[in-house]
């Protein structure tokens, strides 16, 4: 949620700005708009950390030549419904949608399509891709690794990223069920917010440098985030397993840098000394609903599912049980109408990028 100091920007203004900035760095027009669309979707859905707030980092990476502005994706290996794709060191916001497109094309032809991607970079919000699959009446899956911040259960060293999993299912009259979850117990951003506000964090979120649990947010910088579940008692081994699954499908399968070897997204993060593959990795899946069931029958069943779960008696102190994707859907409705609240620090970043690139930023 935006605090008091923010600027309300129409989504179209931010989109246009991002696209022009990408073009400034040599990204072809169509790809630039594609990349900007991924960022916009994050801002519209209220996932502020993954929208224009990230533009600064993409710009920095272009400046030091870490990103190829015009990647030629290459299918390294394939067999009908499956393939491995090399992203040619492109912007993840361009490589991701193109690789997802390959998965969906395969699904049109073979009922399902599965693509593991190497040599890519940060791809935005994981749910962007399953949302695209919904437009074709497909169930879409998406996963990605990211730079090391999460410890395995019982480990005192960072070995994994927050490695998200996303999947979405279309309703008939209802908006889709959209699942998008990091496999860490919380997002790194939540720990940072607590630090900024001088608050303690719950036990089970992080460990300190020595591997002990800590409730001091600043300890995360020398320690790490715990996997979903947190402790053994609360199922921390399960979060570790899920994060490992994402790491293996996205990276070990494609030949990307897995686990602790993932190159960092932000420039201030220390890069691993060793490389075991190319870039980071993603994994996309698409399944044609039509191959399993009549599309409308399936969508109506999803409506029924939503209705039953929404009408679950809530626990004391809560109004209702939510459906996965509800909060983001609500945000999208509001923000489409009212605009995106961009916090002051990000507005400053955008103004700075405007000065550096000559692309005007005017709200």
Kindly identify the residues of this chain, within the stretch 85-104, that bind its own copies according to CB under 8 A: none
Cβ–Cβ < 8 Å for 23, 33? no
Closest contact distance (angstroms) between CB of 163 and its own copies is 12
Residue 322 touching its own copies (CB under 8 A) = yes
Closest contact distance (angstroms) between CB of 316 and its own copies is 6
Q: Which of 92, 124, 152, 341 binds its own copies (CB under 8 A)?
A: 152
User: What is the SS3 assignment for 208-227?
Assistant: CCCCCEECCHHHHHCCEECE
Rg (CA), the chain: 20
Residue 155 touching its own copies (CB under 8 A) = yes
Closest contact distance (angstroms) between CB of 125 and its own copies is 15
Q: What is the DSSP letter of 281?
A: E
Residue number with CB closer to its own copies (101 or 247): 247
CA 311 remoteness from chain centre: 30
Q: Which two tokens stand for residue 187?
A: 């997002």
Beta strands 206-207; 6-9: pairing state = unpaired
DSSP assignment string, 317-348? T-S-PPPTTHHHHHHHHHHHHH-EEEEHHHHH
Q: Report the distance separating Cα 348 and Cα 53, nearest Å.
A: 10
Closest contact distance (angstroms) between CB of 114 and its own copies is 5
Residue 207 touching its own copies (CB under 8 A) = yes
Residue 316 touching its own copies (CB under 8 A) = yes
Residue 200 touching its own copies (CB under 8 A) = no
Q: Which two tokens stand for residue 140?
A: 């879409």
Residue 84 touching its own copies (CB under 8 A) = yes
Cβ–Cβ < 8 Å for 138, 286? yes
Residue 287 touching its own copies (CB under 8 A) = yes
Residue 321 touching its own copies (CB under 8 A) = yes
Count of Cβ atoms closer than 10 Å to residue 15 Cβ = 21
Tokens 């002051």 correspond to what residue? 344
Stretch of residues binding its own copies (CB under 8 A), selected from 18-26, 120-128, 256-264, 265-273 = 256-264
Cβ–Cβ < 8 Å for 284, 117? yes
Q: Which of 240, 264, 328, 331 binds its own copies (CB under 8 A)?
A: 240
Q: Report the distance separating Cα 326 and Cα 180, nearest Å.
A: 12
Q: Which of 22, 33, 129, 298 binds its own copies (CB under 8 A)?
A: 298
List the interface residues with its own copies, window 167-196 (CB under 8 A).
167, 169, 177, 179, 181-183, 185-186
Residue 114 touching its own copies (CB under 8 A) = yes
For the chain, the maximum distance between any two Cα atoms, rounded to a whole number of angstroms, is 55
Residue 273 touching its own copies (CB under 8 A) = no
Closest contact distance (angstroms) between CB of 102 and its own copies is 13
Residue 347 touching its own copies (CB under 8 A) = no
Residue 362 touching its own copies (CB under 8 A) = no
Among 5, 323, 45, smallest CA distance to 179 is for: 323
Residue 296 touching its own copies (CB under 8 A) = no
Q: Report the distance separating Cα 4 and Cα 9, nearest Å.
A: 15
Stretch of residues binding its own copies (CB under 8 A), selected from 39-47, 60-68, 321-329, 351-359 = 321-329
Residue 117 touching its own copies (CB under 8 A) = no
Please, is 53 exposed, middle or buried when counting C-beta atoms within 10 Å of its C-beta (0-12, 13-18, 19+)?
Answer: buried
Residue 259 touching its own copies (CB under 8 A) = yes
Angle at 59 between CA 335 and CA 195, to 5 degrees: 65
Residue 238 touching its own copies (CB under 8 A) = yes
Residue 279 touching its own copies (CB under 8 A) = no
Closest contact distance (angstroms) between CB of 119 and its own copies is 14
Residue 30 touching its own copies (CB under 8 A) = no
Closest contact distance (angstroms) between CB of 149 and its own copies is 14
């Amino acid at each position: 949620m935006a605090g008091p100091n923010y600027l309300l920007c129409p989504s179209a203004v931010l989109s246009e700005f991002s696209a022009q900035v990408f073009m400034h760095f040599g990204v072809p027009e169509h790809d630039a708009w594609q990349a900007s669309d991924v960022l916009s979707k994050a801002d519209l859905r209220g996932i502020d950390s993954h929208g224009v707030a990230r533009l600064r980092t993409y710009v920095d990476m272009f400046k030091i030549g870490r990103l190829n502005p015009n990647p030629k994706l290459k299918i390294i290996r394939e067999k009908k419904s499956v393939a491995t794709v090399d992203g040619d060191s492109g912007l993840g916001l361009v490589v991701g949608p193109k690789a997802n497109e390959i998965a969906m094309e395969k699904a049109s032809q073979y009922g399902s399509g599965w693509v593991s991607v190497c040599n890519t970079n940060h791809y935005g919000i994981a749910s962007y891709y399953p949302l695209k699959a919904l437009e074709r009446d497909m169930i879409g899956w998406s996963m990605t690794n990211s730079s090391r911040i999460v410890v395995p259960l019982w480990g005192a060293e960072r070995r994994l990223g927050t490695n998200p999993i996303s999947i979405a299912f279309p309703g008939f009259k209802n908006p889709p069920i959209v699942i998008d979850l990091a496999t860490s117990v919380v997002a790194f951003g939540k720990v940072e917010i607590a630090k900024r506000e001088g608050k303690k964090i719950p036990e089970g979120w992080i460990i300190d440098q020595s591997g002990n649990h800590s409730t001091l947010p600043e300890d995360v910088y020398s320690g790490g985030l715990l996997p979903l579940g947190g402790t053994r008692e609360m199922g921390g081994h399960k979060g570790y397993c899920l994060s490992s699954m994402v790491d293996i499908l996205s990276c070990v399968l494609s030949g990307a840098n897995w686990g602790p070897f993932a190159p960092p997204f932000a420039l201030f993060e220390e890069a691993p000394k060793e490389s075991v593959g190319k870039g980071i990795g993603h994994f996309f899946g698409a399944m044609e609903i039509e191959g399993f069931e009549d599309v409308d029958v399936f969508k109506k069943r999803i409506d029924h599912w939503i209705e039953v779960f929404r009408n679950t008696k809530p626990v004391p102190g809560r109004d209702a049980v939510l459906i996965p994707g509800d909060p983001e859907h609500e945000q999208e409705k509001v923000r489409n109408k009212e605009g995106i609240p961009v916090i002051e620090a990000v507005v400053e970043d955008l103004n700075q990028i405007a000065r550096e690139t000559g692309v005007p930023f005017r709200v």
